[in-house]
Amino acid sequence: MTFEINGAWRALALGLLVAAISVPAFGDDMAMSAKKAKPRAVPMEPMADEIPQPPLAYSWAGYYVGGFLGGAHGLWTNDFYRNNNHGHAEEGMDGIEGGGWLGYNMYVAPRVIVGIEADLGVSSASENNNVYDNDTTYATYNHFGSIRGRLGYTMDNVLLYGTAGIAFANITEDLQKGRNAGEQLVQDNRGVTGYAVGAGAEYAFSHHWLGRAEYLYSNFGTFSFYNADNQLAEFNNQLHQLRVGVSYKF
């Protein structure tokens, strides 16, 4: 009985000794594992103002003012009536033109702008034509202009656009009976309105300076009046403009 008790105590003491020796070793293993599992330091991301930013695209928004020079081609037609006979005359009206414009653009989408523009100019476009047997017509555009909307697509410093709106002009048209200066003259000098449509392209050379090439078509409708023999003449007036210009954007 004494041997069994002593044997049990010896076994218990041996177990405690093994446990005492194992605990420090286990602690060392845990510490090593913790060191190995320690996460690596994550580098701090730079502040937003430290990140290199791409250059900003050119902005077309804002007010601008400019001037233009170009060529004007008027398509003048005259339908005349004499002794129940109908005749048709057609003549080109070529000349130069010059003037100015002002306008405003705003963005409605990242690359889409809408705007409004007004222009005013003068032209030397005119024509002389003979109708009937001995009557002479003369027509000239004095000054002209328009108020138009614009819709454009931007590609950084390039703008492509279409335009349409109201056109106005002062047109003089003469119908003279006979060839001599003293013959009776029927003259019509009036301010007229019509419509204008066109398209163009602009290029921004710098923040403020813009260059432009543009085509504009205007139609001012038909005028009707009679010569000294009470014969009807109907004048149809159209104007084609091809012009270049420079603008300053504020």
- Helices and strands of the chain, counted as H and E runs: 1, 9
Question: Average pLDDT of 162-166?
Answer: 98
Residue 191's identity, in one-letter code, is G
Residue 184 lies in a domain: yes
Cβ neighbourhood burial of 75 (10 Å; 0-12, 13-18, 19+)? middle
Residue 83 lies in a domain: yes
Residue 162 lies in a domain: yes
Residue 94 lies in a domain: yes
Residue 231 lies in a domain: yes
Residue 145 lies in a domain: yes
Q: What is the CA radius of gyration of the chain?
A: 44
Predicted local distance difference test score (pLDDT) of residue 54: 45
Pick from 178, 173, 94: which is nearest to 136 by CA?
A: 178
Output the domain CATH number for residue 245. Answer: 2.40.160.20
The pLDDT of residue 25 is above 60: no
Distance CA 246, CA 101 (A): 10
- 127's tokens: 């024509």
Predicted local distance difference test score (pLDDT) of residue 6: 53
Predicted local distance difference test score (pLDDT) of residue 179: 58
Residue 39 lies in a domain: no
Predicted local distance difference test score (pLDDT) of residue 136: 76
Distance CA 59, CA 249 (A): 10
Count the residues in the chain.
250
- Which residue range is the domain that position 74 belongs to? 62-249
Residue 22's identity, in one-letter code, is S
Q: Between the CA of residue 207 and those of 56, 115, 154, 228, what are the distances in Å?
A: 12, 18, 15, 60
Residue 210 lies in a domain: yes
Q: What's the number of domains the chain is made of?
A: 1
Whole-prediction pTM: 0.72
Residue with tokens 């286990």: 26
| Cβ(153)–Cβ(175) below 8 Å | no
Q: How far is CA 12 from the centre of its chain?
A: 96
pLDDT confidence band for 34 (50 / 70 / 90): very low
Q: Which of 27-36, 63-72, 120-129, 137-146 has the lowest mean pLDDT?
A: 27-36
Predicted local distance difference test score (pLDDT) of residue 230: 75
Predicted local distance difference test score (pLDDT) of residue 129: 75
Upper half-sphere CA count for residue 85 (Cβ side, 13 Å): 7
